[in-house]
A and B are shown apart, each in its own frame.
Chain A
């Protein structure tokens, strides 16, 4: 059981991070890399989204090509 080596708190925060990353990618995809629009879609502010994009190392450039 891989996960039991993690604490309950770690399990929760990892799952939260994973979901955030997925949601941000999808939102950026939907808005063709427009971070302001993506932030609006996710009911968060531009600054938070910008920080998270950086934190998760999501390259925004790739979405603009579609």
Chain B
């Protein structure tokens, strides 16, 4: 034990004289300070943190009990021993209740006194050590928390780079910079956004980026492909329905509007909305209320609308195929995405997709040969970035090391494998299966285009003629980058 220091308080000079001496004789390494009044004692404890205080109860002026009370508030960890007269039981009980460590009866039994004082000093040392350890632990914890926080911040920074919504939009020349600037501008605002661009230009990516950068980012992002839902179902899909609203409505269902509450609702291919649905959409946009099918009263919704169209919507408004008032509502801010053939970052994007496809298909990252790059640059890309991505993915499967022109077999500027065979060339990398798949895809693409032409872009009718379902047809059109709009005129 380090040198202990105790304070002895008594108004009796004889005791102050005798007791320290007696204590020093019995205890090694002890310093005893004295005070002849409670007031003097308070001055002392203000300067020094004693290991224990011993005080008489009966003193003129401030008595021992009052001193004890002050000690308990100013030095709560310092044990206090009270000296009492014979038979002062009430005072003893009072003192113990008030937080005294022990009491010493006069005449003082010196052995007991020393033993009690030793215990008090030990207790004090233990308390102090505990506190120190606790403090050290807390410091340690704070350090750890700071480290965790910093690591998290670093990680977030890294993943922000990896998952940046702009990664696929930006070429080295910064041609897409304008688009990115617009996204950043509009994200924080409450404006509805209309994203226009050919199929496969990344309209949904733009919508997601806007949502991610907005204050609504923690809320849901709900995407609805208006072209993928038959006209008869679109309203219940968007606005929901009550139980019994129509045959088969066994229970109440929320619509996409309700599911997007607080967040963003992405209406892809908004041109496909039938005119009656457009009227209901208008009400939802104007009054911020939607009425589920079969419901008597409309409910409030707080949803940010991001709409997309693969043809300029204004032109459709003029042709009478899209309501002007809805157009004004969704077109509070417009972002137009350039088609891939007008972009100067085709090769940059192709190289971006290489490692991605490589990871996905479990193949090492490959290169694109100079000749293949020329093919990519010459192609018109009707399916835009999505088509480019699919082409790269496919080429990756066919190529053994470097992507060459013959691996880009889907592109018409390149002879397809079957044609290469017909031309008398030795059969190349394409397997029998790939030849068959390519031919099947080719035939499907042609058949779909032909039927759409005949039905003037009516997909339901086209699906019926091809004896397939609406959803399959829609998916294939997307896959082959066939826009329905061009058959409408």
* Cβ contact within 8 Å between A19 and B426: no
- Please tell me if B8 contacts chain A, counting CB pairs below 8 Å: no
* Residues of chain B from 54 to 73 with CB closer than 8 A to chain A in the complex: none
- Please tell me if A43 contacts chain B, counting CB pairs below 8 Å: yes
* Cβ contact within 8 Å between B435 and A23: yes
* Cβ contact within 8 Å between B444 and A12: yes
With A8-B448, A22-B418, A23-B421 already in contact, the answer to whether A14 and B443 are too (CB < 8 A) is yes
Interface size class of A (residues with CB under 8 A): 20 to 34
With A8-B444, A8-B466, A16-B440 already in contact, the answer to whether A44 and B454 are too (CB < 8 A) is no
* Residues of chain A from 1 to 48 with CB closer than 8 A to chain B in the complex: 1, 3-4, 6-9, 11-20, 22-24, 26-27, 30, 41-44, 48
Chain A at the B interface: mostly helix, strand, loop or mixed?
helix
CA distance A14 to B447 in the complex (A): 12
Q: Which residues of B contact A12 (CB under 8 A)?
A: 440-441, 443-444
With A4-B465, A7-B466, A41-B427 already in contact, the answer to whether A48 and B432 are too (CB < 8 A) is yes
With A4-B454, A8-B466, A23-B421 already in contact, the answer to whether A15 and B439 are too (CB < 8 A) is yes
* Residues of chain B from 427 to 462 with CB closer than 8 A to chain A in the complex: 427, 429-444, 447-448, 450-451, 454
With A4-B454, A8-B448, A11-B447 already in contact, the answer to whether A23 and B432 are too (CB < 8 A) is yes
Interface size class of B (residues with CB under 8 A): 20 to 34
A37 → chain B, closest Cβ, in Å? 10
* Cβ contact within 8 Å between B435 and A19: yes
A49 → chain B, closest Cβ, in Å? 7
A-B contact count (CB 8 A): 94
Q: Which residues of A contact B439 (CB under 8 A)?
A: 15-16, 18-20
* Cβ contact within 8 Å between A8 and B427: no
Contact of A23 among B427, B444, B447, B467 (CB under 8 A): B427
Contact of A3 among B431, B437, B447 (CB under 8 A): B447
* Cβ contact within 8 Å between A1 and B450: yes
CA distance A26 to B427 in the complex (A): 9
Which chain B residue shows the least CB distance to A18? B439
A27 → chain B, closest Cβ, in Å? 6
CA distance A43 to B398 in the complex (A): 11
With A7-B468, A12-B443, A15-B443 already in contact, the answer to whether A44 and B427 are too (CB < 8 A) is no
A52 → chain B, closest Cβ, in Å? 8
Q: Which residues of B contact A27 (CB under 8 A)?
A: 421, 427
CA distance A11 to B448 in the complex (A): 10
Q: Which residues of A contact B447 (CB under 8 A)?
A: 3-4, 8, 11
CA distance A1 to B452 in the complex (A): 12
Q: Which residues of A contact B426 (CB under 8 A)?
A: 30, 41
* Residues of chain B from 109 to 148 with CB closer than 8 A to chain A in the complex: none
Q: Which residues of B contact A9 (CB under 8 A)?
A: 467-468
- Please tell me if B318 contacts chain A, counting CB pairs below 8 Å: no
B399 → chain A, closest Cβ, in Å? 13
B434 → chain A, closest Cβ, in Å? 8
CA distance A33 to B427 in the complex (A): 15
A-B contact pairs, 12 of them (CB 8 A): A4-B447, A8-B448, A9-B468, A11-B447, A12-B441, A15-B439, A19-B440, A23-B418, A23-B435, A27-B427, A43-B429, A49-B432
